[in-house]
Structures are given as C-alpha cells and as structure tokens.
Chains A and B, each alone.
Chain A
Amino acid sequence: MITFYIFIFLPFLFAFLVPFLYKYLNRQVHTGWFVLFVPLSIFIYLVEYIPAVASGATFEYTLSWIPSFGIDITSYMDGLSLLFGLLITGVGSLVIIYSIYYMSKVREALHNFYIYLLMFMGAMLGLVFSDHLLVLYGFWELTSVSSFLLIAYWYERKGSRQGALKALLITVLGGFGMLAGFIMLIMMGDTFSIREIIANMDAIQGHALFIPALLCILLGAFTKSAQFPFGIWLPDAMEAPTPVSSYLHSATMVKAGIYLVARMTPIFGGSAVWFWLVAGIGLVTLLYGSLTALRQTDLKALLAYSTISQLGLIMSLLGIGSLAVYFGPGETGTVFTVATFAAVFHLFNHSTFKGSLFMVVGIIDHETGRRDIRYLGGLMQVMPITFTIALIGGFSMAGLPPFNGFLSKEMFFAAVNDVSHAGIFGLNKIGMLFPIIAWVASIFTFVYCMIFIFKTFGGAYRPERLTREVHEAPLGMLISPIILGLLVILIFFFPNVLGEYILIPALTAILPGMPISGHDVKISAWHGLNTELIMTIGVVVIGLLLFRTARRWIQVMRNYPQGLTLNHFYNQGLSGMEKRSASLTDRYMTGSLRHYLIYIFSFFVLLLMSSLLLLHGIQIDFSNNAAISIYEVGLVIAMIIAAFTVLLASNRILAIVSLSVLGYMVSMFFVIFRAPDLALTQMVVETVTTVLFLLCFYHLPKMTKKIERIPFKLTNLVISVAVGLTVTLLALSANGHKLFEPITSFFENAYELAGAKNIVNAILVDFRGFDTMLEISVLTIAGLGVYILVHQRVKRRGQREIK
C-alpha cells in the first residue's frame, strides 16, 4: 500500500527537489533528465499491475486524511484508472523527453516548467485513482490550477495570460458545478465512495436530486473536456509551450472530463437526460470542432479544434454506450457495450496520434519559426522524418488504414448506425441524425487532416518566407513522436493485444454488471463490405473532392463573421458583466455618507417594522407603569423644545447651546429617577462636550462658514420620523413584557458581598469590573488618538509639518 502511495505522490515529492537540481546542476545536465525518472518509474510500476487487472482483479488502498469527517485518500485501481494512469505516465515520459530538446537550457526558467508539469502529473494521477468524491474534486481543481500555470508559462506575453485566465475561468466554473453535483450525489448515496454509490443505485434512481446532480456533474465534465459551448478555452490555451499543449491539451487533462463521464456512467447512464446530453453535445462538439478547425490557419489552433472535435466523438460514443446500462445484459445491451469499447479505444488512439501531431507542430515551429500554414509549404524534402510522422498521425486522425484511427472510426460509425434504430428516448424520430452528423463531421475531419499534412509539407518550398534556416529536427526531439507514430501503426496491426490487456478491463469498469466476452469486442480491420466501410469510402471520396477544391470555398469559411463566434459572445459577456457590475456599483456606492445612512436606516426600519408587524409584536401595555408627575411633564416639554431647536437652529451657536440644554435636562431626569452618580457624570460630560463643540465651531473654515439652517429634505424627514416611530414602538412593546424577574435583588446585597454601600459603584468596580476596565481602555485609546491626530500630521507635498 505504501509503495502505491509513494508512486502516486512521487511527482509532488519530486517537485520539491527540482529547484535544487536546477540551481546546482542545470549547467551540466538539462533538468528534464532528472524529471524523466518520475513518470518513467511510475509507468513501470503501473505496468506491473496490467496482468492482474486484466484478469479482473481490482486494488483498493486507503490513506487516512481527515477520519473524523470520513475523508480519506481512497485509491481504487481498476481497468479504467489503470488505462488513464498508463496514458498519463507514458505520454508524460515522452513529453518530458521531447521537452528536454524543445526547451532551451539557457533561455527558459526550467525549474518553473518542471514543477508545474510535475504538479499537473501528480494531480492527474490522483484524480484518476481517487474513489473518494471530494478528494477527486481536490485533484480536479489542482489540474485546473497547474494547467493555468503552464498556459501562462511565458507570462510576459499578453496572449498567454489571457489564455490562462480564460482556461481558469471556464474550467473552475465547471469545477464548482461539479462540486455541487458531487455533494448532491453524496447526499443521495450517503457515502463519499463512488463504488459504494454504484453498489446501492436503487436509493439514487428515483431521488429528486438525481437530475440536478447529473446536470452539475456534466457541467464539470463538459468544461474540462472542451465540449460545446465550453470549448473556447482550448484554442487559447495553445499559447502554452508545445510540450504542454501536447500533454495537457491533447492527451491528458482534456480527457479528465471523459474520465468523469465514464466513471459516472454506471450511476447516471440509462437515463434519457444523460444519453441526450452526452451523446447530443458530443455530436454537436464533433461537428463544431471539425468545421471550425477548417477555418484555422495556425497549426496549433487547427489541432486544438481537432482535439475538441475528437473529444466530442469520444463523448458521443460514451453517451451511446450508456444505453447499455438501460438495456442491461442481453443482446441489445451488448451492441451498445461495443460503443463504449469504441470510446475507450478511440481515447487511447487519440492520445497517441494527437500527441505526436502536436510534437510535429512543435518541431515545425522550432525549425522554421512559423506556425501559419499560409507561410509553410514544401517541407517534405527538408524534413522527411517529421513528414512521415505527420502523415501517420494525420491519416490516423482522418480515419484511414493502416492506422489505428481507422479502427476506432469504423467502430464509431457502427455505433451511430446502431443507435439510429434503438427505438428508445425518442430515437425512432430523429435517430437518423446521428449517422448523418457523424458522417458529415468525418468528412470535415478528413479535409482538415489533409490540409494539415499537405499545406505544410506539400507544395513548393519557399525558404524566403521562413525566418530560419530549415533542416531536419535533432534526433532527440524526434524520439517521442516516432514512438507515438510506431504505436499508431502497431495498434492497427495488433489491436487485440491492447484490447485484451487494457481496454476490456476499462470497459468492465465503465459498465459493471455487463457480461463482456472477448468475442463481442474483437477488433478486426476487415469485416466485410458493410455500411461502415461504405461510409468511410464516402468520407475519403467526398473529402478528397473538397480538399481539391479547397481554394474556392475555404475563403468563405474564413470570412465567417467574427461577431458570431463563441469567443465573441464570451468576450462580450465578460466585458458586459464587468461594465454592468461597475455601473451597478457606481449607482449605489456614491461615496456620499448621506446615502449610506439612508440605506442603513431604511433597512433598520424595514426589518424591525416588518418583523414587528408580521409577528404581531406591537402590544402596548401601560398597566405596570408608574404615575407621571407634573414636573416631569414640564421637563419633557422643555427637552422637546430644546431638541427641535437643535434641528431648526439658524446658526450653529444656537444649536450647540440647545444641545447642552438638552444634556442638562437629561441630567435632571437622572435626578428625578434617583441616579445621583449618573447625574453627576452626565453633568460633567455635557459641559466638556459643549466646550469641545465650541472648539470645533471656532475652527470651521471661513470660506464655507455660511450661517444657515439645515436644508430641508423630504427623504430625511420621512426616514427620521420612521426611525423614531420604530424605536418608540419597539420600546413600548418591550416595556409591557417582562418575561422574568430582574436580577437586581442580587446587587442589593452589595454591602455583604462587596463591602460597598453604593450599588452603582459596586457594580462598576466589583461585580462587573471587567466592563469598566475596557471602558478605561476605550478612553485611553480615544485620548491617544486625539493626541496623535493633533501632533502627528502627515506632511503634505511642499508643506512643512506644523508643530
């Protein structure tokens, strides 16, 4: 168990070493050579699991993390996670070899690059091996963050920063959606473990949260896997260094969403919503990606859109495959099991050929200084090896024999043909659309693959358009694409080896409970002249025609109005949101204290009044009140007059004097209500305050010292009357309702308890001396504050400190 965790967390652990290796050894050895050891050793470790997993065994490991909340790093290895694990570490090793030759030892900050890459690798491994939903989410976000860091690796470029920001915004939006979905799933299944949720599916099926959870989780999967319409971040992520594009944005990270959909198929598969969303959006993405790829002139952008399109293909196959859960074991179910198999198969194939294609683009970029097909051409003679690899990868992507893309594309056609007459979920009406869309999209795929290969390598060689002296790439840079290209061919000739050892265990993991025999999913390159083959021949014929005439219509495609692209809507939405929120904030955050006081008081009145009225809180009871004597009435009248004088005073001296009259009256009230200490204090404080007011009055600036009364404003009047009314009502209602006896009787024993005859003072310094202490601190702070304000004036420009 501990070996497993050491290997899974090895990237994180090794990331700590990278800066030291870079700092002390980079002069001699490229840091990448040290890093290469990490994925390679994990790959070898995972390979050892293949025989066991192929024979149906699964492995489970638990590392305690937060046991009191039931959060453990539970790892589960079955066919699906092993497939992803092998892809991540295998492609990861190749990408690191490639990056050693691609990234300059002298010019680049390699330690940053490899730390981010290792972080990503560790996160991805953690993601695919997690059985715990929340831990899975944690690793999921870590892949978003490390991808963000990698896209913005050349952070001094504007495009990199924008691309990184866009990728982060979209994938994290999906990630949050997914978290919500996971939490709903946890609530429904009452467990964190994916396998336990699958095990008791009955509790979940009819649950009210089933559909919301499904939608939220799909949002996460679609944003990560660049499905329509969330795919727009992927082309912008091409600002990253090419090894990163090759690794993250073709082989691994974008497949995290695919992994999630595959993982969740046993739970949600079989429902109509899931089928239509996954298969439908997948098909739309397939068509959208292939159409948009045609318009691109930048090779990396073309590959990015082709990645989107291929991911759509895999997604739609997973959607079709989810019908197997609906039909269950049986003949019909088995037909759709093959669709899922095709999905897994194409997933693997796509990683191989797309990885190599990105590396080819990187080589072209590196050797010619150009990535735009309008400047490239005729590289066939100059770079024969690169051309061969591009040819293999491109033909495989187009779905031609003898490359592995052909096999999975045939299986894809078979799946869409099968689904067109499945006869459920309304498929009998519009099921025919599936093969048509798939076929049309495949034609476009074929065309852009041809464009990719022949516009770059075919035609005339024009060195004057290129910025560098062109020659074949160094061998080290070619190692990884050659290995991937060889895999592409090998898989075509020996597909069943891969199928038996890796793909069928993965299939068993996606569709548990389906009897899968090797016979059902046997891949064969030739199975007679059937519909699928005719479709492929049609693709090639029409595709060639379109490619021949490309010059005439491709300009029409490129002139597609910029205003109708998804990117345009995204940018508009983002800037619109910023503008809206800025104008909203400007509207209510006016900077005027009067406005803020209006908000505060209105809410005060609104909350208290509505709760008083709604809860029938206004109950005024005068029965326990003391009698009112005549001099009290006189005092109150005098106070009211003084208060109104403050409001209506025509000059400030009058207001100050009236205020001190008011204060003296209050102290008189303290006398009447038998509070000598209060009366004393009130008297002194009132006098001091008046003096302070006079001080302020004297220092008013001459220019604006207009002598005028407070201007009348209706809003102020309404709000102040409402506040007064509210407080009065509240006080009167509270007065009539004493729920329990006051604790005064305790303090009356002040003499026995504290040796004091004065209760008030005993309370202040003995019973509740703590408050007094803090009030003393308040006074100290106020005194110090005033002192600092007066003495420590900040010097203004050109003005000397005034002592």
Chain B
Amino acid sequence: MIFEIILTIALCLLMLAIMANVYRVIKGPSSADRVQALDSIGINLIASIAIFSVLLHTHAFFDLILLIGILSFIGTVAFARFIERGVVIERKQ
C-alpha cells in the first residue's frame, strides 16, 4: 500500500518534471534549449513508464521503454544535425 503511494508520488513528481520541461520547450529561448527539453521529456517518459509498469505489475511496456530510449536519441541527433547543418539527411556527393 505504502509502496504504491510512493510510486504514485514519484509519478506525480515526474509529471511535474515533464511540465517544467514543457515550460522550457515553450520559453526557449534558442532551439537548442527546446531540443534539450524534448530529450529530457523523453527520459522522464521512460522513467514514468517504468514506474507505471511496476504499479500495474506488467512487463508489457518494456519494449516501449527501449524504443523511447532509441527514438529520443535519434530525434535529438536529427535535431542537432538540423540546427547545425540545416539538413537531417545529406545527399551523397
């Protein structure tokens, strides 16, 4: 029972963290800040899903955790390339 309450509190805190990140996404000021915030949201989502899986006693969401890890990495790299070079995928020369 207490365990569940702790988990729920943790979830709520993660929610707060996500909200804070959303604030950063909106506020900016530069694109890099926003991309960072987005990356951070992804990591927070991983954590929330993990806690949630414990709460639900299921391992159905483990794939998702891995996937978010990969996607968040790819997404951040794509954004970074975009900000730096203006293109995501370069043509073969």
Measured CA separation A654–B38 after assembly (Å): 11
* A691 and B88 in contact, given A671-B61, A676-B61 (Cβ under 8 angstroms): yes
Contact with B along A637-665 (1 / 0, CB 8 A): 11001100100000001100110110010
In the bound complex, do residue A690 and residue B75 qualify as a contact, i.e. CB atoms below 8 Å apart? yes
Contact with A along B45-80 (1 / 0, CB 8 A): 100110010001010110110011001001100110
* A671 and B38 in contact, given A631-B8, A691-B78, A698-B86 (Cβ under 8 angstroms): no
Nearest opposing residue in chain A for B62, CB measure = A676
In the bound complex, do residue B22 and residue A638 qualify as a contact, i.e. CB atoms below 8 Å apart? yes
Query: Which chain A residues lie closer than 8 Å to B14 at the CB level?
Result: 631
* A631 and B12 in contact, given A638-B22, A661-B25, A695-B88 (Cβ under 8 angstroms): yes
Q: Does A577 contact B (CB under 8 A)?
A: no
In the bound complex, do residue A671 and residue B49 qualify as a contact, i.e. CB atoms below 8 Å apart? yes
Query: Which chain A residues lie closer than 8 Å to B42 at the CB level?
Result: 664
Q: Does A672 contact B (CB under 8 A)?
A: yes
Identify which of residues 610-644 in chain A touch chain B, using a CB-to-CB cut-off of 8 Å: 629-631, 634-635, 637-638, 641-642
Tell me the minimal C-beta distance from B67 to chain A in angstroms. 6
**Which residue of the partner chain, among A634, A654, A674, contacts B26 with CB atoms under 8 Å?**
A654
Q: Does A574 contact B (CB under 8 A)?
A: no
Tell me the minimal C-beta distance from A689 to chain B in angstroms. 11
Tell me the minimal C-beta distance from A425 to chain B in angstroms. 85
* A630 and B61 in contact, given A668-B48, A684-B71, A694-B78 (Cβ under 8 angstroms): no
**Which residue of the partner chain, among B12, B25, B74, contacts A687 with CB atoms under 8 Å?**
B74
Q: Does A679 contact B (CB under 8 A)?
A: yes
Identify which of residues 9-30 in chain B touch chain A, using a CB-to-CB cut-off of 8 Å: 11-12, 14-16, 18-19, 22, 25-26, 28
Query: Which chain A residues lie closer than 8 Å to B19 at the CB level?
Result: 634, 637-638, 641
Residue from the set A631, A642, A661, A679 with the largest chain B CB neighbour count within 10 Å = A631
Tell me the minimal C-beta distance from B91 to chain A in angstroms. 12
* A657 and B35 in contact, given A635-B15, A664-B41, A668-B45 (Cβ under 8 angstroms): yes
In the bound complex, do residue A676 and residue B60 qualify as a contact, i.e. CB atoms below 8 Å apart? yes
Query: Which chain B residues lie closer than 8 Å to A629 at the CB level?
Result: 8
Measured CA separation A128–B90 after assembly (Å): 80
Q: Does A186 contact B (CB under 8 A)?
A: no
Tell me the minimal C-beta distance from B5 to chain A in angstroms. 11
Q: Is the interface of A mostly helix, strand, loop or mixed?
A: helix
Tell me the minimal C-beta distance from A675 to chain B in angstroms. 9
Q: Does A680 contact B (CB under 8 A)?
A: yes
Identify which of residues 6-42 in chain A touch chain B, using a CB-to-CB cut-off of 8 Å: none
Measured CA separation A642–B25 after assembly (Å): 9
In the bound complex, do residue B52 and residue A671 qualify as a contact, i.e. CB atoms below 8 Å apart? yes
In the bound complex, do residue A694 and residue B82 qualify as a contact, i.e. CB atoms below 8 Å apart? yes
Tell me the minimal C-beta distance from A388 to chain B in angstroms. 95
Query: Which chain A residues lie closer than 8 Å to B48 at the CB level?
Result: 631, 668, 671
Query: Which chain B residues lie closer than 8 Å to A683 at the CB level?
Result: 64, 67-68, 71
Tell me the minimal C-beta distance from A529 to chain B in angstroms. 111
Query: Which chain A residues lie closer than 8 Å to B58 at the CB level?
Result: 674
In the bound complex, do residue B15 and residue A641 qualify as a contact, i.e. CB atoms below 8 Å apart? no
Measured CA separation A683–B74 after assembly (Å): 12
In the bound complex, do residue B38 and residue A657 qualify as a contact, i.e. CB atoms below 8 Å apart? yes
In the bound complex, do residue B12 and residue A660 qualify as a contact, i.e. CB atoms below 8 Å apart? no
Tell me the minimal C-beta distance from A531 to chain B in angstroms. 103
Tell me the minimal C-beta distance from A357 to chain B in angstroms. 85
Query: Which chain A residues lie closer than 8 Å to B49 at the CB level?
Result: 668, 671
**Which residue of the partner chain, among A642, A668, A671, contacts B22 with CB atoms under 8 Å?**
A642
Nearest opposing residue in chain B for A639, CB measure = B22
In the bound complex, do residue A657 and residue B25 qualify as a contact, i.e. CB atoms below 8 Å apart? yes
Measured CA separation A684–B18 after assembly (Å): 20
Tell me the minimal C-beta distance from A761 to chain B in angstroms. 12
Query: Which chain B residues lie closer than 8 Å to A674 at the CB level?
Result: 56, 58, 60
In the bound complex, do residue B64 and residue A654 qualify as a contact, i.e. CB atoms below 8 Å apart? no
Nearest opposing residue in chain A for B87, CB measure = A698
Measured CA separation A316–B68 after assembly (Å): 91
Query: Which chain A residues lie closer than 8 Å to B60 at the CB level?
Result: 674, 676
Nearest opposing residue in chain B for A670, CB measure = B64
Query: Which chain A residues lie closer than 8 Å to B18 at the CB level?
Result: 634-635, 638
Nearest opposing residue in chain A for B38, CB measure = A657
Contact with B along A483-502 (1 / 0, CB 8 A): 00000000000000000000
* A653 and B64 in contact, given A664-B45, A687-B74, A691-B78 (Cβ under 8 angstroms): no
In the bound complex, do residue B75 and residue A676 qualify as a contact, i.e. CB atoms below 8 Å apart? no
Residue from the set B14, B35, B38 with the largest chain A CB neighbour count within 10 Å = B38
Query: Which chain A residues lie closer than 8 Å to B88 at the CB level?
Result: 691, 694-695
Measured CA separation A687–B68 after assembly (Å): 10
Residue from the set B74, B79, B86 with the largest chain A CB neighbour count within 10 Å = B79
Measured CA separation A691–B78 after assembly (Å): 7
* A680 and B67 in contact, given A634-B19, A654-B28 (Cβ under 8 angstroms): yes
Query: Which chain A residues lie closer than 8 Å to B8 at the CB level?
Result: 629-631
Tell me the minimal C-beta distance from B82 to chain A in angstroms. 5
**Which residue of the partner chain, among A635, A653, A680, A695, contacts B63 with CB atoms under 8 Å?**
A680
Nearest opposing residue in chain A for B75, CB measure = A687
Residue from the set B22, B79, B86 with the largest chain A CB neighbour count within 10 Å = B22
Query: Which chain B residues lie closer than 8 Å to A684 at the CB level?
Result: 67, 71
Measured CA separation A679–B34 after assembly (Å): 23
Query: Which chain B residues lie closer than 8 Å to A634 at the CB level?
Result: 12, 15-16, 18-19
* A676 and B78 in contact, given A645-B26, A658-B25 (Cβ under 8 angstroms): no
Measured CA separation A386–B2 after assembly (Å): 122
Nearest opposing residue in chain A for B56, CB measure = A674
Query: Which chain A residues lie closer than 8 Å to B52 at the CB level?
Result: 671-672
Measured CA separation A670–B52 after assembly (Å): 12
In the bound complex, do residue A630 and residue B75 qualify as a contact, i.e. CB atoms below 8 Å apart? no
In the bound complex, do residue B67 and residue A631 qualify as a contact, i.e. CB atoms below 8 Å apart? no
Nearest opposing residue in chain A for B35, CB measure = A657
* A671 and B15 in contact, given A657-B38, A690-B75 (Cβ under 8 angstroms): no
Measured CA separation A661–B36 after assembly (Å): 12
Query: Which chain A residues lie closer than 8 Å to B31 at the CB level?
Result: 653
**Which residue of the partner chain, among B25, B64, B79, contacts A671 with CB atoms under 8 Å?**
B64
Name B residues whose Cβ lies closer than 8 Å to a Cβ of A: 8, 11-12, 14-16, 18-19, 22, 25-26, 28, 31, 34-35, 38, 41-42, 45, 48-49, 52, 56, 58, 60-61, 63-64, 67-68, 71, 74-75, 78-79, 82, 86-88
Name A residues whose Cβ lies closer than 8 Å to a Cβ of B: 629-631, 634-635, 637-638, 641-642, 645, 653-654, 657-658, 660-661, 664, 667-668, 671-672, 674, 676, 679-680, 683-684, 687, 690-691, 694-695, 698
17 A–B contacts from the bound complex (CB under 8 Å): A631-B8, A634-B16, A634-B19, A635-B18, A637-B19, A667-B45, A668-B48, A671-B49, A671-B61, A674-B60, A683-B64, A684-B67, A687-B75, A691-B88, A694-B78, A698-B86, A698-B87
Add 12 more A-B contacts to A687-B71, A691-B75 (CB < 8 A). A631-B48, A634-B16, A638-B18, A645-B25, A654-B25, A654-B28, A654-B34, A658-B25, A684-B67, A687-B75, A691-B78, A698-B82
- Which 6 residue pairs of A and B lie closest in terms of their CB atoms, listed nearest first? A634-B15, A676-B60, A631-B11, A687-B71, A657-B34, A645-B26
